[in-house]
Structure 1
Amino acid sequence: MKRYIIGIDLGGTNIKAGIYDFDFIAVKEISTPTEAAKGPLHVLERIREAVRLITVEADISLDLVAGMGIGVPGLLDPVAGISFFSPNFPGWEQVHVVDEMKRFYDFPIFIDNDVRGNLYGEWQQGAGRGYNNLVLITLGTGLGSGIVNNGKVIYGTSYSAGEIGHMNMYRNGRPCKCGSSGCLGRYVSALGMVNTFKEKLKEGRTSMIQTWTNDQEEQITALMISEAYELGDALSMEVMRETGTILGFGLANVVNLLNPDLIIVGGGMAAAGDKLLQPVRETVSQHALKLSGSKCEIVQASLGSRAGTIGAASYAYGKLKEAE
């Protein structure tokens, strides 16, 4: 009898859900609104609705589901199945995700951090297949990361290892929500790049983007900077290169510390491709230890927005295999 595995990628705006066979061929994948403002219990209900939709639309009985993995943003305990805190989710504290979901399903349920979900996806089914020492970073509104060392995902004492985005880059830099300042993520995320761009406008620099937005700075996006780069906008090209260079210095530290053979760059910013990654590679080549740097390749993620659901399913599948 053929069995299936479900992967859930819980986002602040949308819940992505997928159901896969054991070869990780997608049977059905959907995206549905999270409605996070309505509170934790409603969000859990939305996850159950997503499960109902994919199983009904795929015509697969719940009896054929072997297990489910859920990627949850924020701090959590994957062993206890508890999410301690999740940004952009009002009232989300000490949510017993696994226990709440077990009330409705007979199959095993596992949770992990959403970035590690992306890590499992890219490592096992994407750009990282075949590698045993790799780092994934996701560049969106912030910088998330996950680490595989000698074939094992690193979790740390409080399951929060790999916070590369909070590596201090500037002693008195931009303030960060973590309570520190000068964190890498404040400069190389989409928001960080936009802030760099705005700072240069305040210095008197000009860009075609000002025409696009009618001088409304709050409308400037990282995508606009990427598009203006393609059109030869000098300021956009400068900001993209500066962003890539700062990320390169951060990743040179990562290379020196962890000695990975692969760094995967994912998230929305990764769509910039070599516009961002070329200065990253150049900086790592120049500033990482020569032996470590020469052994490390820096590539763009391959699964795109599907990494979270595929990764959550891969994670659950692995936990099921461990239990056999």
Structure 2
Amino acid sequence: MATYIGLDLGGTNIKISVFDDFFHRLGEKRTPTEVRLGSEHVLNRIYDAVLALLEELHLTCQDITCMGIGVPGILDIKNGISRFSPNFPKWEEVPIVAWMESHLHIPTYIDNDARVNLYGEWKFGAGKNRNNVLMITLGTGLGGAAVIDGRVIYGATGSAGEIGHINMFREGRECRCGSSGCLGRYVSALGILRTFREKVQAGQHSIICDWVNHDLDKVTADMLSRAYDDGDAVTIETIQETGKLLGYGLCAVFSLYNPEIIIVGGGMSRMGDRLLQYTREILDTHALRIPYGCCTIVTAVLGDAAGMLGAAVYAKEQFLQSAANNGPN
């Protein structure tokens, strides 16, 4: 029986699942990424977590047909290299595929994390049977990926869909991409928490301050949702600003991709309409009317499992394509 590993490498957690040939999940493991300790440390954490999960399932590396990994940032997909990831320090030109194949001896394929989330939702979730799909992932950062006319688009360097780097402010928050004012510096878990902290540090008071004993480093996006429901003015203002910025960013997307559905995934998507109601307000008044009128905006139905499932689907497709290309004429 063929088995596949799907791995979603996030800024906070490494999420791994093993699937059978019908993409039924056989087992799952999650472990902190610890990105601050650098690329070699993260690669070793992936290695250890994969072996631990296989041991739990009474499998070995030889039992795995191939592995797919969703990686945030800019990739050299052909050569299996992660070139740059804005939320990963000490992370440039990381040879993920070569490292994994030399240590695990499993055929390995990488793609952008938003794109593997797209594969999952497009094949099995909210985007099933749709030909024009935009997936945005609101996690540690902001990612994006698109299907146009039934094909996942990549672009010249595999960077198509990187909406997190749309410039929103001429002189805004610095981004590790080298620019400033990028959408993802504001619309993401890191971005919305920074917005909240700036408001508190400017003198506004939130009930969240009492929850964390005024240690703002302990504030989470889920806390913002709770405080929003409790009517906390600072939190409502923070989420409103963030949702509107996302709306302005998506206005450009309608012009570029003309999607029939936009799927919002990632951990921050749990805010749901607390956030997206403000996004829709901006789109209602600023988006191109005809393409916006044919598009629906929904939250991902697979939750944070989409990246693992999509990475496994992607890996199987690449493995079969490679086998076909290298087979007998």
TM-score (norm 2): 0.87
Determine the structure 1 residue equivalent to 2:286.
287
Distance (Å, rounded) in 1 between the aligned partners of 2:31 and 2:230? 35
CA deviation vs aligned residue, 1:281-324 (integer Å, no higher than 9, x gap): 23212211111001111111122222221111011112134343
Distance (Å, rounded) in 1 between the aligned partners of 2:36 and 2:229? 38
Residue 110 (structure 1) shift: 0.9
Distance (Å, rounded) in 1 between the aligned partners of 2:229 and 2:169? 30
Distance (Å, rounded) in 2 between the aligned partners of 1:12 and 1:20? 23
Residue 106 (structure 1) shift: 5.5
CA deviation vs aligned residue, 1:42-67 (integer Å, no higher than 9, x gap): 54343333332333322345444222
Distance (Å, rounded) in 1 between the aligned partners of 2:202 and 2:233? 15
Determine the structure 1 residue equivalent to 2:153.
154
Whether the aligned pair in 2 keeps the contact of 1:139 and 1:267 (CA below 8 Å) is yes
Q: Which runs of 5+ in 2 are unaligned?
A: 325-329
Question: What letter corresponds to residue 135 of structure 1 in structure 2?
Answer: L
Aligned length: 323
Alignment of 1:181-196 (within 5 A): 181-196=180-195
Distance (Å, rounded) in 1 between the aligned partners of 2:163 and 2:245? 13
Whether the aligned pair in 2 keeps the contact of 1:265 and 1:298 (CA below 8 Å) is yes
Question: What letter corresponds to residue 245 of structure 1 in structure 2?
Answer: K
Determine the structure 2 residue equivalent to 1:212.
211
Residue 171 (structure 1) shift: 2.7
CA deviation vs aligned residue, 1:234-274 (integer Å, no higher than 9, x gap): 33223222221221111122112210011111122111111
Whether the aligned pair in 2 keeps the contact of 1:285 and 1:294 (CA below 8 Å) is no
Determine the structure 1 residue equivalent to 2:272.
273
- Secondary structure of the 2:193 match is helix
Question: What letter corresponds to residue 318 of structure 1 in structure 2?
Answer: E
Distance (Å, rounded) in 1 between the aligned partners of 2:240 and 2:34? 37
2:42 is equivalent to residue 76 of structure 1: no
Distance (Å, rounded) in 2 between the aligned partners of 1:66 and 1:15? 20
Determine the structure 1 residue equivalent to 2:327.
none
Q: Percent identity of the aligned residues?
A: 52
Q: CA RMSD in A?
A: 2.5
Distance (Å, rounded) in 1 between the aligned partners of 2:117 and 2:67? 15
Alignment of 1:156-175 (within 5 A): 156-175=155-174
CA deviation vs aligned residue, 1:189-243 (integer Å, no higher than 9, x gap): 2232233334444555433233334444444433222111111223322322222
TM-score (norm 1): 0.88
Whether the aligned pair in 2 keeps the contact of 1:255 and 1:296 (CA below 8 Å) is no
Alignment of 1:32-181 (within 5 A): 32-34=31-33, 36=35, 40-86=39-85, 91-104=90-103, 107-181=106-180
More displaced 10-residue stretch of structure 1: 5-14 or 71-80: 5-14
Determine the structure 2 residue equivalent to 1:229.
228
Whether the aligned pair in 2 keeps the contact of 1:260 and 1:296 (CA below 8 Å) is yes
Determine the structure 1 residue equivalent to 2:298.
299
Determine the structure 2 residue equivalent to 1:16.
15
Distance (Å, rounded) in 2 between the aligned partners of 1:287 and 1:62? 52
- Secondary structure of the 1:94 match is strand
- Secondary structure of the 2:186 match is helix
Whether the aligned pair in 2 keeps the contact of 1:73 and 1:115 (CA below 8 Å) is yes
